[in-house]
Structure 1
Amino acid sequence: MQLDGTPPPHHAPGGEPGAGGRPHLLMCAPDHFDVQYVINPWMEGNIGRPDIARARVQWEALRAALARHAEVVVCPPAPGLPDMVFTANAGLVLNRRVILSAFAHPQRQPEEVHFAEWFRAHGFEVILPPEPYRFEGCGDAVFDTHRQLLWLGYGQRSSLEAHPFIAETMQIETVSLRLVDPRYYHLDVALCALPGGDVMYHPAAFDSPSLAEIERRVAPERRIPVSAGDAQVFACNAVALGEAL
């Protein structure tokens, strides 16, 4: 998760700890990472099977790679919450405010209090989505700096009804996209808006009206359709930091 948010140019960044420099990214150490339940197709048949030592090595390599382009802030993990490592799902940050996630699955809902405490302790205003709507943070919210908007996903985890609240709270134009394949349960595994204006996306993850909306807003030369093979290894779940991807 980018603690500065990735606001369009007309927004003034207000990240952690200061604006104007390198971006600040939130990570969570994989001390308690595992597959302990099934809430998406990728977890089926994998309970208790992850190589935890290898996951730690991969996490450290990712942190080192990100640290070459950003300041990495690490929040403490909590026992019994193996998915806290996926910090993009913690909330949506812009201008020192965070709309906290309201997770769809009960297994992840206990994460909410830990992330709320962390954000408050670090000076962020914490905003809760209205009940009973679900919202899974930057997992279903992708900033597009080139088009000055926020792509929002729904249909798998997050509620479409939460989108007007997000737009009003963050004072930003939003575009709602419906996800139709449970393998692509979050928008950020199906679409990535790059800083220069290109958009990577897996067409089969979206319904026809949503795909038409992407094509209406993104010029043909800016579209990067991602194949099923690449999408299934999470090519769209990328982190763009300046010229680095």
Structure 2
Amino acid sequence: MTDRFLMCPPNHFEVAYVINPWMEGNIALGSNDIATRQWEALARLIGQVARVERMTPAAGVPDMVFTANAGLILGDKCVLSRFRHPERQAEEPHFGAWFRENGFDVLELPPDMVFEGAGDALLDRGEPLLWLGHGHRSTLECVPLLKEFLGIEIEPLRLVDERFYHLDTCLCPLEGGYLMYYPAAFDAESQARIMARVPADRRIAVGHADAHDFACNAVNSAGTVFMNRASKGLVRELQSRGFNVKQTPLTEFMKAGGSAKCLTLKLTEDRQSPDAGNLDARSVA
């Protein structure tokens, strides 16, 4: 099955407020022209291996470009996000309408429950497991309802560095059951959870510089990893595991605290079996 990704053009994108550390000092300092060129370059690259679906951007919600936060997809179900910050809550009806119009069964959490979609909820690529980040945006209170809605095991991970405020900024499940992550973004207990669940030969720990270039905020499809930037060492490590690495500058979006993964929402999400996405058994260009 060809992957499908939802993206929202950055027509109205700007840094208009501060809700994470990356935004500090960047209000009104971005270039929409550069952001558009960078966004189109990412969309073209992903479009070489997957299908990119574009939704209509809305004025007044500049962060709507970050479609990863729209909701959590599993099969034909979508758990709609409940944003923590009022600045982003106006995105919810736009995303809800798109999902309904495109055939998803939209499930809604109570209004007072905070959950920021596939920014904090990432499906493992080796087993039927949902990694859930909490501590900055999403809260643990949503776990019971997510289990009820989706019938999937959930592994909570506590985020402790405010610069890595969403799970997808510091952890990226990869095909074949690999996991790329920045250990320092998690508390000791969560680091231990990751090591207990993921074999050592499937863990790819990134260092400080790569993490702050948002290397973990990557898109993985058809054996290719798309990201803003990575060190030569990280590229070699990913290539040694069979991945093709594509780097494309996303500096304008990093001013708002986002990169490749934040700009996309995978629409073709299914439960993984232990052998699903076995990269080792495939020939990757």
Find 1:70's aligned residue among 28, 50, 57.
50
Q: What amino acid sits opposite 1:69 in the alignment? A: V
Partners in 2 of 1:165 and 1:214 — Cα distance? Answer: 23
Q: How many residues are matched?
A: 225
Q: What amino acid sits opposite 2:75 in the alignment? A: N
Residue 55 (structure 1) shift: 0.6
Residue 181 (structure 1) shift: 0.7
Matched residue SS, 1:65: helix
Partners in 2 of 1:59 and 1:229 — Cα distance? Answer: 23
Partner of 2:174: 194
- Structural mapping, 1:72-111, within 5 Å: 72-111=52-91
Partners in 1 of 2:110 and 2:149 — Cα distance? Answer: 12
> Runs of 4 or more off by more than 6 Å in structure 1?
none
- Structural mapping, 1:115-134, within 5 Å: 115-134=95-114
Give the unaligned 5+ runs of structure 2: 226-285
Q: What amino acid sits opposite 2:14 in the alignment? A: D
Q: What amino acid sits opposite 2:72 in the alignment? A: L
| 2:125–2:178 Cα contact (<8 Å) kept | no
Residue 147 (structure 1) shift: 2.3
Find 1:171's aligned residue among 151, 164, 179.
151
Partners in 2 of 1:90 and 1:225 — Cα distance? Answer: 27
Of the two structures, which has the highest relative contact order with CA contacts closer than 8 Å and spacing of 6 or more? 2
For the pair 1:37 / 2:10, whether they are aligned, the reply is: no
Find 2:133's aligned residue among 148, 153, 156.
153
Partners in 2 of 1:162 and 1:127 — Cα distance? Answer: 13
Residue 242 (structure 1) shift: 2.1
Provide TM-score, normalisation by structure 2.
0.78
| 2:82–2:116 Cα contact (<8 Å) kept | yes
Q: What amino acid sits opposite 1:240 in the alignment? A: N
Deviations 1:39-80 (A, max 9, x none): 000000000011111110000001100111111111111101
Matched residue SS, 2:16: coil
| 1:26–1:87 Cα contact (<8 Å) kept | yes
Provide TM-score, normalisation by structure 1.
0.90
Q: What amino acid sits opposite 1:169 in the alignment? A: F
Deviations 1:155-198 (A, max 9, x none): 00001110121122111111000001110000001101111121
Partner of 2:277: none
RMSD of aligned residue pairs (Cα, Å): 0.9
| 1:154–1:178 Cα contact (<8 Å) kept | yes
Question: What is the percent sequence identity of the aligned residues?
Answer: 53
Q: What amino acid sits opposite 1:173 in the alignment? A: E
| 1:28–1:74 Cα contact (<8 Å) kept | yes
- Structural mapping, 1:209-228, within 5 Å: 209-228=189-208
